[in-house]
Amino acid sequence: MSATEYVPIRVTTLRGGGSLTFNAYIRAAGKYHLYCKNGENLQGTLLEKLKEKRLKKMYIDPKDESAYRSFMTQSIESAYDKNSDVPIADRAEVVQGAQQAAAEEVMENPESEEAYNLAKMGTEKYIEFILQEDDALKSVLNIENSESSVSQHSVNVATLAIAVAKELKLDEKHDMELLTLGCLLHDLEHLETGLDIGRPIKDMTPEELSLYKRHPVHAAEKIVVLKHFDKDVIDIIHQHEELVNGTGFPKSLKERDINPLALVCGCVNAYDRMVSFEGLPPKEALKSLLVTKMGLYPLGHMQALQSVLKTKGVVV
Ligand SMILES: [Fe+2]
Ligand SMILES: [Fe+2]
């Protein structure tokens, strides 16, 4: 089989699942190598090595596509099963991996209506999982983001936004789904620019900072012409860096002009940026948010976030 015939799959979709029902290959120096055999489990060292190499994709033989799809469906279904005896931390890994993969798929192919709709459909069960399973939120946030992955940060933001919106009683089903999807895609542009965002913003050069400050508007310009994007999702992507006192970017909007869903995303994003990209432990990040961001997000949102982090045991 020629190399071009292999089909790419996302590593995060294999995380936490059982034994593979297909051969999985990696690509190195233009060649494909068998990495995990049919019947083997891609856990522990094998998975850690992929993480170290920052490999996001593996490959399968096209004849194994249906086996791969069944594997994914089955591992997601059993991860969502409330009566499962599998520990919540393991189930959260599978569920989180599926959300991360769905987010990456849209971030890499925003023009794909199919990818967008799949990510949108996946939000309903995820919201239920986060709100109805006691340790789900904590288990998802506990998955270390050692690579400062934008898509993992996006899942963290979506996860916290779901709980904060519930706390704020902004939990109408349709809004919650759009909020979740918008959060999953809010930093879409970072994948495109290649800018290293895994560090404090104050460490960026003036050129990097100017590129960084254009990420919401660049993304919005790209997606506004795509008919399948919902208006609220576009607003979240465009407005998540706005601040209530009008000192945010790109448009220096005041609170009354910011989409309420973008405000929820913005507040939890400010917190998770410190954890995912600046290496602050949750307790320090919350403290810093409450001190340095006071007056930049609605007080009720900050208090709701504080309450979620404490009641869910993320901050003790
Ligand atoms: Fe952002
Ligand atoms: Fe972000």
CATH number at residue 109: 1.10.3210.10
CB crowding 118-127: b at 16 or more within 10 Å, else e? ebbebbebbb
Same-domain check for residues 12 and 116: no
Give the separation between CA 316 and CA 299, rounded to whole angstroms. Answer: 21
The answer, yes or no, to whether residue 16 has pLDDT greater than 70, is no
In a domain, 316, yes or no: no
Band the pLDDT of 92: cuts 50, 70, 90. very high
Which residue, 73, 96, 130, sits at the end of a domain?
A: 73
CA of 166 to the centre of ligand 2 (A): 20
CA of 189 to the centre of ligand 1 (A): 8
| pLDDT value, residue 17 | 64
Q: Which ligand has the nearest atom to the CA of 237? A: 1
pTM, to two decimals: 0.93
Same-domain check for residues 161 and 133: yes
CA of 43 to the centre of ligand 2 (A): 29
Same-domain check for residues 187 and 57: no
| pLDDT value, residue 146 | 82
Same-domain check for residues 57 and 109: no
In a domain, 301, yes or no: yes
End-to-end CA distance of the chain: 54
Q: Quick one: average pLDDT of 112-126?
A: 97
Residue 161 lies in domain:
81-311
In a domain, 146, yes or no: yes
Same-domain check for residues 184 and 124: yes
CA of 249 to the centre of ligand 1 (A): 10
Same-domain check for residues 118 and 248: yes
Which residue, 73, 101, 129, sits at the end of a domain?
A: 73
Same-domain check for residues 66 and 207: no
| pLDDT value, residue 61 | 94
| pLDDT value, residue 68 | 93
Q: Which ligand has the nearest atom to the CA of 249? A: 1
Count of domains observed in the chain: 2
Helix (H), strand (E) at residue 126: helix 113-132
| pLDDT value, residue 46 | 82
Band the pLDDT of 307: cuts 50, 70, 90. very high
| pLDDT value, residue 261 | 98
CA of 215 to the centre of ligand 1 (A): 7
If one counts every other C-beta atom within 10 angstroms of the C-beta of residue 316, the result is 7
Q: Quick one: average pLDDT of 214-235?
A: 97
